[in-house]
């Protein structure tokens, strides 16, 4: 449907009344003018008026079908991107697990000796931040019981105490590498 701009003048009382009743009829000036023109056409040539109405309705149906197709396409794209994102996350988790199993003893030794380079580990394990890398690795090493006082190089096995601990007994929470299970 092609629209054109028409400039016209109308009676002030008609305009004021139309504006005041706008909240009730919810029509624009364009709608009112078109309805008036179509009613005049239907008086003169009813067949032409019906053809125009039918054409307008067909056009609205075509626009609605197009909008529906766009909504369906966007839903499909969202589903595919969610599935792809899920697969990527799964692949990253699998990569991290493989790398952890490969390097866990080395990582435990580096953590215990405090010689670990977290930036390098971040690249190997494909994390976004160093903090995220550090939390993941330390949590996994603690869960596998590869880091705690007994595995620290400063642990005195014969005396059963940690030189970092303020108390002389087995691992305490004062050691940086110790986490109570």
Q: For each successive 10 residues of the chain (181 residues), what is the average pLDDT?
A: 80 88 87 87 90 90 94 90 81 89 87 86 90 90 74 55 53 49 42
Which residue has 């609605």 as its token pair? Answer: 64
The pLDDT, as a whole number, for residue 71 is 93
Query: Which tokens in the block code for residue 18?
Result: 């139309």
Which residue has 């620290």 as its token pair? Answer: 152
Neighbours of 47 (CB within 10 A): 9
Query: Which tokens in the block code for residue 66?
Result: 């197009």
Q: What's the start-to-end Cα distance of the chain, in Å?
A: 73
Rg (CA), the chain: 38
The pLDDT, as a whole number, for residue 31 is 86
Residue 24 contacts by C-beta under 8 Å, 6 or more apart in sequence?
A: none
The pLDDT, as a whole number, for residue 64 is 95
């Amino acid at each position: 449907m092609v629209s054109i701009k028409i400039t016209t003048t109308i009676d002030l009382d008609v305009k004021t009344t139309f504006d005041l009743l706008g909240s009730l009829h919810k029509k624009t000036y364009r709608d009112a003018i078109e309805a008036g023109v179509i009613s005049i056409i239907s008086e003169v040539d009813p067949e032409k008026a019906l053809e125009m109405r039918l054409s307008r309705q067909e056009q609205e149906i075509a626009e609605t079908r197009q909008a529906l197709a766009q909504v369906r396409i966007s839903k499909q794209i969202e589903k595919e991107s969610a599935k792809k994102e899920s697969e990527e996350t799964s692949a990253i988790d699998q990569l991290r697990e493989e790398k952890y199993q490969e390097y866990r003893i080395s990582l435990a030794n580096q953590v215990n000796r405090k010689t670990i380079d977290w930036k390098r580990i971040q690249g190997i394990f494909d994390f976004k931040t160093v903090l995220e890398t550090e939390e993941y690795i330390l949590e996994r090493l603690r869960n596998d019981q590869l880091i705690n006082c007994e595995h620290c190089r400063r642990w005195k096995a014969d005396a059963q105490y940690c030189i970092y601990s303020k108390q002389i007994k087995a691992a305490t929470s004062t050691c940086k590498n110790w986490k109570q299970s």
